[in-house]
Amino acid sequence: MNFIDFTLECNGRTLTFGMSPNREKREFGITKITGLESSDLELNLTDNALVDGSTMDGKRIKSRPIHIEAELRDDRNNEVNRQRIIKFFNPKYAGKMTINHSGTRRNIEYELEGWNFVATNNVHNHLAIVVDLKCADPFWKNIDNFGQNMADISKHIAFPWRVVKKKVSVPEPYKGLTLPGQITGYRTLTKEVLLPNDGDVPTGVQIQFIAERGPCTNPKITHVGSGLFVRVKVAMEQGDVLLVDTNIRHQVIELNGVNIYQKIDRLSEPFELAVGNNYLEYDADTNYTNLDVRLFYTPLYLGV
């Protein structure tokens, strides 16, 4: 079943458009919408002096324009609706568009480029609007922000649950250590993890190093396939949180909320997750087992 169901959110207000998957009509019916599938592409070419054609120097995807024409289904309290719509389209605030296009759900941030009421031939005098949005970041985002803790807890309990009387061996990195009684789980401390990116383009990743169990020094995260890494020269105390964000539009390194980008290892190079499978590995100069390492990323798409 083909349908378009989207919501505009801005400054705590919302407007809904289209029709839901269960055929529920939203407050606005859509008469026209463009800009969902693709954005303009800019090619940088240099003419060749002695041979035919040009040389490709580079290309970039330009900001995404989205054009919407819609009609309010409710013709009651027209002046109330009119004022509500005027207050919603406030150019001082940025907004977010969340869309469900025949089962594919995405969102994108936008700025208001312009809007207006338009004349309509509808005998019931429904309010009609035309809206132009501009998305500086042209990529649609997955609704979900994927996350994983590389130093997670592996469940280790059976049902019916019985208390174990004898000593139980605990896996690495505590090889040789035994604990009396029952065991319900253990930390895996997997230094390498798989992060799949099903988007259309590379995407940045946000890494949180948390000194959960004690101090550590100079944590490091490596993209195994490319060999690129980010290492931060810092001594972390128990409870410290080090944030490394490799997203191009928001590259930061912060310790407990304070900018420490100057402490990055000069050989470091912030990396992105390539399309497909990515393997990341973490380490530290000392006490890597004291860290929780939490990874967050959002796949990006060319269209919806």
For residues 99 and 36, the answer to whether their CB atoms sit within 8 Å is: yes
Claim to verify: residue 237 and residue 260 sit in the same structural domain: yes
List the single range of 10-24, 105-119, 131-145, 188-202 with lowest mean pLDDT. 188-202
For residues 34 and 67, the answer to whether their CB atoms sit within 8 Å is: yes
Residue whose C-alpha is closest to residue 143's, from 95, 113, 103, 110: 103
Domain with 127 in it:
4-138
pLDDT in tens, 197-249: 999 999 999 999 999 999 999 999 999 999 999 999 999 999 999 999 999 88
CATH, residue 81: 2.40.30.200
CB proximity list for 125: less than 8 A, separation 6 or greater: 75, 78
pLDDT in tens, 240-293: 999 999 998 889 999 999 999 999 999 999 999 999 999 999 999 999 999 999
Claim to verify: residue 66 and residue 182 sit in the same structural domain: no
Claim to verify: residue 111 and residue 159 sit in the same structural domain: no
Looking at the structure of the chain, the number of domains it has is: 3
